[in-house]
């Protein structure tokens, strides 16, 4: 297989915990030809999608990558393209999916499907299953945010396009900073945000479940540290093993058909207290943690699933 990884620069990766690196190591083990490019390297040349790419073979020891020359090549020359650029999901990210749409027409298979990347916003997509999600309001009104906090007590307010816990704030109706927070996050009423009741179950952890072609394959808990309410590892959350309960399996079962039909091969969902809070499709993480905690090689399972999709075309 010849594969391209659209990603952040290899030198910027923390290989100890990076899922894209894990995928590329498995590709190298299988003898795949691999290259990387940044989304800014994508282009159209004479109506055909192309990119300036660099051959990149992942290694299991420092310097971690063996890099070749940079060359401009048609995207249709690749069998598989993995869109692995970390968020934010901004207009630059959206624009890159337009070129990846063309790559699919040129014969490459893109994981995850670029049409679905545009449609499945990580916070808003979960609301398509309202029976699985916590009560949620989406508004750009400062007054409505204040009123909701006064009605529901402790609440979480967060950007619709955030990632990694960025901009996630916990407040309450009597917080003298509440109005200022709402003004800041909504840009004085110009930008919509999400408002949800604070889920006390976050103290027990935010459960990350990795789904491969719609099936749950690995999971772990991210437990917030004493100095932060967020279940994100880079702000101090610790990773612990856990089991899937009946509710978790019901959530995964409800999502399976849609994820598979929409070409979302690699997905990470977040569950807090039995409620679906996010469906991560842009650049899910957790492969290395699952390998450590469960002994399960999801990088290999994802490469198997990709090969199966290619064989079925």
Instruction: Give the active site residues.
Output: 123, 158, 208, 222, 230, 270, 278, 280
Backbone angles phi, psi at 54, to 5 degrees: -130, 125
Q: What are phi and psi of 311, to 5 degrees?
A: -65, -25
Backbone angles phi, psi at 153, to 5 degrees: 80, -120
User: Taking a C-beta distance cutoff of 8 angstroms, is the pair 189, 226 a contact?
Assistant: no
How many Å apart are CA 271 and CA 214, to the nearest integer? 16
52-57 long-range CB contacts below 8 Å, 24 or more apart? 53/4, 56/5, 56/10, 56/24, 57/28
Nearest Cα neighbor of 84 from 193, 184, 4 is 4
Which residues are CB-neighbours of 184 under 8 A, at least 6 positions away? Answer: none
Q: Would you call the peptide bond into 160 cis, given omega within 30 degrees of 0 as the criterion?
A: no
- Residues 1 and 32: beta-carbon distance below 8 Å: yes
């Amino acid at each position: 297989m010849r594969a391209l990884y659209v990603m952040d620069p290899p030198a910027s990766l923390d290989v100890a915990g990076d899922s894209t690196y894990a995928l590329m190591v498995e590709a190298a083990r299988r003898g795949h030809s691999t290259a990387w490019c940044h989304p800014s390297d994508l282009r159209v040349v004479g109506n055909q999608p192309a990119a300036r790419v660099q051959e990149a073979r992942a290694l299991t020891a420092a310097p971690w990558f063996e890099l070749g020359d940079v060359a401009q090549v048609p995207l249709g020359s690749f069998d598989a393209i993995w869109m692995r650029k970390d968020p934010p999901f901004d207009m630059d990210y959206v624009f890159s999916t337009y070129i990846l749409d063309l790559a699919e027409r040129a014969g490459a298979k893109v994981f995850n499907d670029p049409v679905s990347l545009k449609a499945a916003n990580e916070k808003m997509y979960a609301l398509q299953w309202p029976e699985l999600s916590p009560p949620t309001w989406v508004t750009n009104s400062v007054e409505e945010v204040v009123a909701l906090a006064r009605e529901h007590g402790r609440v979480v307010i967060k950007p619709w396009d955030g990632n990694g816990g960025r901009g996630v704030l916990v407040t309450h109706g009597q917080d003298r900073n509440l109005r200022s927070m709402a003004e800041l996050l909504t840009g004085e009423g110009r930008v919509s945000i999400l408002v949800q009741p604070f889920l006390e179950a976050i103290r027990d952890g935010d459960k990350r479940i990795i789904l491969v072609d719609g099936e749950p394959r690995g999971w772990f808990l991210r437990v917030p540290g004493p100095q932060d309410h967020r279940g994100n590892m880079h702000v101090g959350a610790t990773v612990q093993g856990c089991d899937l309960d009946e509710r978790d399996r019901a959530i995964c079962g409800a999502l399976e058909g849609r994820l598979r039909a929409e070409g979302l091969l690699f997905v990470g969902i977040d569950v807090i207290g039995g409620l679906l809070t996010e469906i991560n499709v842009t650049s899910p993480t957790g492969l290395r943690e699952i390998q450590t905690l469960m002994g399960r090689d999801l990088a290999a399972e994802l490469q198997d699933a990709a090969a199966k999709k290619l064989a079925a075309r």
